[in-house]
Amino acid sequence: MQRKAIIQGRLEFANEKSFGQMYLMYEHRIENFYKSDVLFKEDVFDEENLLLNIPRLIAVQEEKYWTNTVKLLEYLAQFAIAGSMAAWLVHEGKIRKYAIIEPKSDKAIVQTFRKGKKLSAEKGKEEEALAALTKVIDKHDSHAQAYERRGFVNYIMGDLAGALYDFNKCISYDESIPTAYYWRARVHMAKEDWQKAIEDLEMTTKKAIALQPIYWKARRRKAHCHVQKEEFELAAKELRLFTNRKYEKDNPNYTYLRECLAQYADVLVKLSKYEEAIDAVERALTYEEQEQYVPAERLLTLRGLARHKLGEGGQDDWKKAAKLGSKEANRLLEEFPA
């Protein structure tokens, strides 16, 4: 059965010797194991810059081609000192198989980066992560992934200047890493530089694929930036796309559906699209397990406002919201009594 394969990323090699060793093993494995049953060709090898580079490859083939390609890349990655590649096998719009391919050899720089990357995801280990990632950068200044992870840690620790420096360096060495643009956008958001944040979030969506959670995280954040700039039509477009997407419950974007539907309703009211706003509120109310993020009184107040604008009263919703503690609903009841 044919399925869509997507592969993107790059591997970086320390010197001509290690690149040459890798290429010899590539030729050996192609000749003796895989023949032509892999997805990429020799144009992915950049000897001048010591890279195996696949900006984005999309192919429809039998599953064995994807499997062979991943196995081959995993083998070649043992000769690399930096880089990362992602591979997806997709069928009917769903990810069937997924692989991350990174150097895992016993080289000191590889092991130190792996340690720093692991620590960067552990709360309370930020200082240790910074030390490990800085050690990697000191040894190999063009290690884009180390800059990206150190930038993330700096952001978490509140060092916005350090984070911005690291994300800029990451992108200067490797323009293909979507998380570098996403977290740089978060730095710009923290500084309330909404336009720069929008530009980086747009780059995030270009460098990611729509099957990745970060693609939709970027769209959600982009909507927020447009709201801050009072660009409500643009915000509505992003929120419509985000809230129409179906997410599995283990997808990190799922927990934001009620919040984004509430924001979408608010934007639609500002755009005088009241019937659509009511629909967004009613969809939001179905996500009862997310009420801790968006209280029912906020949604009822919004629905009442949309109904009032349509000439349908709205006081019933405001009364319910007021009983739940909404000061805004109380204000509206005083301003627009039945």
What's the pLDDT score for residue 10?
96
Residue 296 within any structural domain of the chain: yes
CATH number of the CATH domain containing 311: 1.25.40.10
Q: According to the model, what pLDDT value does residue 37 have?
A: 94
Q: Is the pLDDT of residue 262 over 80?
A: yes
Other residues' Cβ atoms within 10 Å of the Cβ of residue 207:
23
Residue 135 maps to a domain: no
Summarize pLDDT for 189-230 with one digit per residue, the tens.
999 999 999 999 999 999 999 999 999 999 999 999 999 999
Q: What confidence tens digit (pLDDT) does each residue in 107-153 have? A: 999 999 999 999 999 999 999 999 999 999 999 999 999 999 999 99
**DSSP three-state, residue 313:** coil
CB 198 within 8 A of CB 179: no
Residue 20: inside a domain: yes
pLDDT at residue number 207: 96
For residue 255, the enclosing domain spans: 230-338
168 within domain boundaries: no
Phi, psi dihedrals of residue 103, rounded to the nearest 5°:
-60, 135
Q: Scan for tokens 């179905």, then name that residue.
A: 286
Helix (H, G, I), strand (E, B) or coil at 1: coil
| pLDDT tens digits, 271-298 | 999 999 999 999 999 999 999 999 999 9
Q: Looking at the domain assignment, is residue 219 inside a domain?
A: no
Q: What is the DSSP letter of 328?
A: H
Give yes or no for a contact between 18 and 77, defined as CB atoms under 8 angstroms apart. no
User: Considering the chain, what is the average pLDDT of its residues?
Assistant: 96
* Torsion angle defined by CA atoms of residues 64, 50, 130 and 193, in that order, rounded to the nearest 10 degrees: -90
C-beta separation of 203 from 216 below 8 A: no
Of 118, 65, 53, 73, the closest CA to residue 89 belongs to 65
Collapsed DSSP state (helix, strand, coil) of residue 77: helix
- pLDDT over threshold 80, residue 41: yes
Instruction: Give 92: exposed, middle or buried? Use CB within 10 Å, 0-12, 13-18, 19+.
Output: exposed
- pLDDT band for 258, please (50, 70, 90 cuts): very high
End position of a domain, from candidates 84, 101, 118: 101
22 in a domain, yes or no?
Answer: yes
Of 101, 117, 138, the last residue of a domain is: 101
Query: pLDDT > 90: what percent of the chain?
Result: 96
93 has pLDDT over 90: no
Sign of CA dihedral 307, 311, 312, 317: positive
Q: What per-residue confidence (pLDDT) applies to 248?
A: 92
Query: For position 43, which CATH number holds?
Result: 3.30.70
Residue, of 93 and 187, whose pLDDT is higher: 187
Rounded CA-CA distance 306/201 in Å is 31
How many domains, in total, are found in the chain? 2
The gap between the terminal CA atoms of the chain, to the nearest Å, is 64
Closest CA to 306 of 333, 256, 258, 268: 268
CB 307 within 8 A of CB 313: yes
In a domain, 77, yes or no: yes
Please state, in angstroms and rounded to a whole number, the distance separating the CA atoms of residues 293 and 180. Answer: 28
DSSP-derived letter for residue 41 is -
Could you tell me the strand order of the sheet in which 94-101 lies?
Answer: 45-46, 51-62, 2-12, 82-91, 94-101
Mean pLDDT along residues 11-35: 96
Rg, C-alpha atoms of the chain = 25
pTM of the model: 0.94
Predicted local confidence at residue 1, as pLDDT:
77
In this structure, are residues 338 and 313 in contact, taking their beta carbons and an 8 Å threshold? yes
Please say if the pLDDT value at position 338 is more than 90: no
Note whether residue 329 is domain-resident: yes
Domain boundary residue among 46, 79, 101?
101
